[in-house]
């Protein structure tokens, strides 16, 4: 079995900084919880006890302690990363906005029945423009719902159908 994980010996400034964060609180709950983990470990508590104290997973406590032993107090700061990658690039986004604000007859589509989503979806899939390949339909099933309908129409893509029975599916996706 591996040795229990513990923080290295704290120097005086580090101990004071950790106590200051814990006593006075912090604007970041992440910094506060990490400081509590380090102080508890320096006080001799084991990883399972610390995990229960701060309501965190034991692996998280171990990761924080290892990170502190490597880089010091810098480990208190959260390192947020980007989220999900964009499905539409800026050019595709501009194209959707331009298509959404253009009348259907100009795009070669018959009439204007208020089916805004089907016009946008049809324009995205049209052979006149090659869109970037995606694993999902070009409209993303609800991307067109985020853009207001043309000409101030109050018909939204996911509203009641003409019969009023259920939600419409303008993109049939």
- Phi and psi, residue 167, nearest 5°: -70, 145
Report yes or no: 41 and 30 within 8 Å, Cβ to Cβ: no
The range of the structural domain enclosing residue 123 comes to 90-152
Report yes or no: 111 and 105 within 8 Å, Cβ to Cβ: yes
**136 assigned to some structural domain:** yes
**84-120 per-position pLDDT tens digit:** 877 888 888 888 888 888 887 777 777 655 555 555 5
**117-126 per-position pLDDT tens digit:** 555 555 555 5
Q: What is the total count of domains within the chain?
A: 2
**39 assigned to some structural domain:** yes
CA distance 122 to 33: 51
**3 assigned to some structural domain:** no
> Taking the C-alpha atoms of 99, 103, 105 and 110 in order, what is their torsion angle to the nearest 10 degrees?
90
- Which pLDDT score is estimated for 146? 47
CA distance 131 to 56: 44
**15-27 per-position pLDDT tens digit:** 999 999 999 877 7
- Which pLDDT score is estimated for 143? 53
Whether residues 95 and 144 fall in one domain: yes
pLDDT exceeds 90 at position 173: no
Angstrom CA distances, 132 to 14, 98, 110, 135, 155, stand at 51, 17, 26, 10, 29
Whether residues 100 and 70 fall in one domain: no
pLDDT exceeds 90 at position 40: yes
**110 assigned to some structural domain:** yes
**45 assigned to some structural domain:** yes
The model's pTM: 0.47
Whether residues 63 and 99 fall in one domain: no
């Amino acid at each position: 079995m591996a040795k229990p994980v513990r923080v290295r010996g704290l120097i005086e400034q580090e101990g004071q900084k950790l106590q200051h964060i814990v006593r006075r609180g912090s604007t970041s709950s992440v910094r506060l919880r990490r400081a509590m983990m380090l102080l508890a470990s320096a006080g001799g508590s084991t990883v399972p006890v610390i995990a229960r104290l701060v309501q965190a997973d034991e692996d998280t406590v171990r990761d924080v302690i290892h990170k502190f032993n490597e880089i010091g107090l810098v480990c208190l700061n959260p390192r947020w990363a980007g989220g999900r990658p964009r499905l539409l690039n800026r050019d595709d986004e501009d194209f959707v906005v331009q298509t959404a604000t253009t009348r259907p007859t100009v795009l070669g589509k018959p009439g204007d029945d208020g089916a805004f989503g089907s016009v946008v979806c049809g324009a995205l899939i049209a052979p006149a423009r090659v869109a970037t390949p995606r694993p999902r339909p070009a409209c993303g099933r609800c991307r067109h719902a985020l853009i207001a309908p043309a000409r101030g129409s109050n018909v939204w893509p996911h509203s009641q159908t003409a019969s009023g029975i259920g939600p419409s599916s303008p993109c049939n996706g």
